[in-house]
Structure 1
């Protein structure tokens, strides 16, 4: 078990399974949720990885909403809603918080980032100057990747809780490496990250814990993670792998 830091913003989550009436319906039917009891978070960076459909985003969304973030993303002050599609899992999660309250926070989910950017523009019209916190330029006037990176570089700051769902979705490999550098700067300034990702680059950040979802949450070393092993095998044996894939 990781050494617990009482000053980290979220120490762990517990599933109140005795309050769940049925494990047949979504999302309680997911093996990762059925087997969930307590999940401890690293005081600095926690990665949640796994195949599509294993429940990474569902878990991350539930943690974010239980903490008070808008289901579609943004800060805790964002209250817009484009599609009410988030699950009720958050109602069954108990957050074990640390002694310290974050001074900042943001929930980034790649699939609804467009809606967040739109809401930021609307808030800028009501409160001119807000865009300065996002680099001084509308996120809609940047490429998808540029807007993601602008968020990391300008909006995130010290002593914050940042919950990121597939932040690599719009980032090139070089930008993903730059994200590691920025993340390290923020960690040194008292930030905590909880990240769902498919990126072997991002999950390489060393001062972290990696939970891989298969039938449940399994703590793995970086080199043991399936995403890392698949990417390494492909890059080391590209021709052989392609022959298998397209023959």
Structure 2
């Protein structure tokens, strides 16, 4: 394991009513332990899970627009305002890794195309990411660029992945789990089922660790699959 603790310097915040310092989970946030090599952040949009992941990426010197510390390009509003007030503690510091930001992956692919290195596509399946489908480009990155002794921060990787390819990502994680660390912000009930992972919930106040079966993602998905007609009837009740 590499990263072991994320600490919040709340006493140094100059204006707590300003975003992102007014996100609810930060009100009682002091320290978060990362106890193993696969950790998930879950919560509704706006709960702060991606904001914290982005701050961690910034402190790892990864490009907060997406990429590693070697990918130098800019995307508007891709910086982290939280990272100045976060401290990371390491079991063993690593310099290798990658921050996947699904919403800016197009710009990352364009950045790779603009490089003059003749081997620039070696880590992406041998061809431009723009010449692959969205899902194929994500998997090309995972399969060819990910390796050992690295930390990978993935922000909603399921955005481009079918259920089958989400399972493919889980296999890649399993292959690397003993020599790489993954912290993943996700809404996917498939990815959250990864065995023995730590799941941190960002909803309802302070961050708390929950079991897979306690996540709203699992509960809603199971209910829908077991009683689809009933769920839809309730959902559309006032529209009849």
TM-score interval, smaller chain: over 0.9
Q: Tell me how far 1:79 sits from its aligned partner.
A: 1.8
Mapping 1:109-120, distance limit 5 Å: 109-120=101-112
| Counterpart-to-counterpart distance in 2, 1:237 and 1:99 | 47
- Alignment deviations for residues 188-217 of structure 1 (CA, whole Å, 9 cap, x no partner): 3x0000000000100111131000111121
Backbone CA RMSD of aligned residues: 1.1
User: Cα gap change, 1:100/1:56 in structure 2, threshold over 3 Å: closer, same or farther?
Assistant: closer
Q: How many residues align?
A: 236
Deviating beyond 2 angstroms after TM superposition, the runs of 4 or more aligned structure 1 residues are 84-87, 99-102
- Alignment deviations for residues 121-155 of structure 1 (CA, whole Å, 9 cap, x no partner): 112xx111121111101000011111011111111
Q: Tell me how far 1:98 sits from its aligned partner.
A: 1.7
Paired position in structure 2 for 1:178 = 168
Paired position in structure 2 for 1:68 = 61
| Counterpart-to-counterpart distance in 1, 2:122 and 2:144 | 8
Q: Tell me how far 1:85 sits from its aligned partner.
A: 4.1
Paired position in structure 2 for 1:224 = 214
| Counterpart-to-counterpart distance in 2, 1:146 and 1:134 | 10
1:210 is the counterpart of 2:199: yes
* Contact 1:66–1:95 (8 Å) recurs in 2: yes
| Counterpart-to-counterpart distance in 1, 2:114 and 2:122 | 14
| Counterpart-to-counterpart distance in 1, 2:23 and 2:77 | 20
1:161 is the counterpart of 2:154: no
Specify the SS of the correspondent of 1:48. strand
* Contact 1:27–1:87 (8 Å) recurs in 2: no
Paired position in structure 1 for 2:129 = 139
**Structure 1, unpaired ranges of 5+:** 1-7
Specify the SS of the correspondent of 1:153. helix
Specify the SS of the correspondent of 2:32. strand
* Contact 2:58–2:80 (8 Å) recurs in 1: no
Specify the SS of the correspondent of 2:140. helix
